[in-house]
Copies of this chain bind each other. A is one copy, B any other.
């Protein structure tokens, strides 16, 4: 969800500028972990409403809607690290992805228990232990990862293009 459907970096850049007066760019933080790039990240994600008001990732609504017509889509979000985010995250998903029913949602603390055919995710910690096909959605923190078994996708257009013939 975060980094694939929800554009967390868009908000991180805004909040960093608010807190420090400096507008960072993707180039400034490429390859850094989120907490390395943004010293106040933990404070922000623990703030009430942070996950309720995130912007939607470009192309994700149309892209996921099309996939939803051809695959059994389940949206899985690491969420239990921040208990107060759980309801916010579901309400956000219900607002922006109305075609995803409550039966297609999972909020968890570890994705290792998930069994499926394809995973689209930005984090190696989720992709590396997944037994099916893995698409690594490009985000600043994973930009410098190379020579990996995961198929890199830079945008929702690329996700759609890759999966449309299945």
| Nearest CB in chain B to that of A104: its residue | B109
- Which residues of chain B have C-beta atoms less than 8 A from A106's C-beta? 106-109, 113
Cα of A116 to Cα of B108 in the assembled complex, Å: 15
Mask of A85-115 contacts with B, CB within 8 angstroms, 1/0:
0110011001000000111111111100111
Copies in the complex: 2
Q: Residue A83 at the B interface, CB < 8 A? A: yes
- Which residues of chain B have C-beta atoms less than 8 A from A81's C-beta? 102
Q: Is the CB of B94 within 8 A of A83?
A: yes
Q: Tell me if A's interface is mostly helix, strand, loop or mixed.
A: mixed
- Which residues of chain B have C-beta atoms less than 8 A from A94's C-beta? 83
Of listed A86, A110, A114, residue having the most chain B CB within 10 A: A86
Q: Residue A33 at the B interface, CB < 8 A? A: no
Count chain A residues whose beta carbon lies closer than 8 angstroms to a beta carbon of B. 25
- Which residues of chain B have C-beta atoms less than 8 A from A74's C-beta? 110, 113
- Which residues of chain B have C-beta atoms less than 8 A from A108's C-beta? 105-108
Of B101, B104, B107, B115, which is within 8 A of A86 by CB? B107
| Nearest CB in chain B to that of A84: its residue | B87
Cβ-closest 3 pairs across A and B:
A115-B115, A86-B86, A103-B109
- A sample of 28 cross-chain residue pairs with beta-carbon separation below 8 angstroms, ordered by A number, consists of A74-B110, A79-B107, A80-B102, A80-B103, A80-B105, A80-B107, A83-B87, A83-B90, A83-B94, A84-B87, A86-B86, A86-B87, A86-B107, A87-B87, A102-B109, A103-B109, A104-B109, A104-B110, A105-B108, A105-B109, A106-B106, A106-B108, A106-B109, A107-B107, A108-B108, A113-B115, A114-B115, A115-B115
